[in-house]
Amino acid sequence: MLVEMKDLVKRYQDVPAVDHVSLEIREGEIFGLLGPNGAGKTTTLNMLIGLTKMDGGSIKIFGKNLEDSAGEIKKQIGIVPQEIAIYEDLTAAENVAFFGRLYGLRGSLLKERIDEALAFAGLEEKKKQYPRKFSGGMKRRLNIACAVMHRPRLIIMDEPTVGIDPQSRKHILDSVLKLHDSGSTVLYTSHYMEEAEELCTRIAIMDQGRIIAQGTKDELKELVSSEERIMIELSAANYTLVEQIKKVSGVRECAIEGKTLTVIAAKNGRIISRLIELITATGSEIISLNVEKITLENVFLTLTGKTLRD
């Protein structure tokens, strides 16, 4: 285990922001930490890197206690914060050099790593330009170059693709996969469920300061595999039909948007037959009926009662 967090607690005026959180992150994996705003993700990350003092629990990184070996541990961590952290009055190369010097790099090794990090971020042709002229996506890519230039063993990325253009977003996601392929360990938080689905080898879902589920994508999907999402497009639909469907045994939820019904129900072929009977009785025609596969978004909604971006 590269990271071991046990019973982490952080309170603000007796209100628990992080409530007995325990997580283990294995070397070489992309570990996703997902949760809505206010779930406690950033507070957990801040305790992990020593910015926020724990009120309880313990943290081990690289097999060493954080409280005893903070300086040594931090040298091997790279951080991509939620807020962009670069200097706009320094060029791209000067930004990367500044962070490299903080990690003790000097001379020809520093120069080599600057070129390597900028190439990794796709900014080698922008090395002499100032970030104030960059797009938001390019600034975030420069942020990543600064975080990885010392080749850290653990890279913490907190919402690295928020508010950026599609091209930069794809570049960042590809970069995370390259880091994984090179053996780096990545702790990744995101508001985009499709990113977690694409990138993460294991995921923990956090809500109201607690970890409510964790495992691989398949293990998490198994938690709600007893239900399915049925999408039915009709020639006409009304709220009377919705209320009738809600009364069908095994149906947990039914909603209408335009002429499309969304039904969340237990996996049971008889339920679909019953839905067809009710719809036919109203005189409406079924244009299409699809049973969607379980996704991480379904899992998250079921466990927390909200979507990731709420």
- According to the model, what pLDDT value does residue 295 have? 79
- According to the model, what pLDDT value does residue 237 have? 82
Confidence of residue 304 (pLDDT cuts 50, 70, 90): confident
Residues 123-182: tens digit of each pLDDT: 999 999 999 989 989 999 999 999 999 999 999 999 898 888 888 889 999 999 999 998
Domains of the chain, start order: 3-222 (3.40.50.300), 226-293 (3.30.70.100)
Confidence of residue 309 (pLDDT cuts 50, 70, 90): low
Residues 10-53: tens digit of each pLDDT: 999 989 999 999 999 999 999 999 988 888 999 999 999 999 99
Residues 102-119: tens digit of each pLDDT: 999 999 999 999 999 999
- According to the model, what pLDDT value does residue 191 have? 80
Residues 204-239: tens digit of each pLDDT: 999 999 999 999 988 888 877 777 889 999 998 888
- According to the model, what pLDDT value does residue 310 have? 56
- According to the model, what pLDDT value does residue 298 have? 76
Would the pLDDT of 266 be above 90?
no
- According to the model, what pLDDT value does residue 45 have? 94
- According to the model, what pLDDT value does residue 125 have? 93
pTM for this one?
0.79
Of 87-96, 227-236, 262-271, 301-310, the one with minimum mean pLDDT is: 301-310
Read off the tokens for 225. Answer: 């595999």
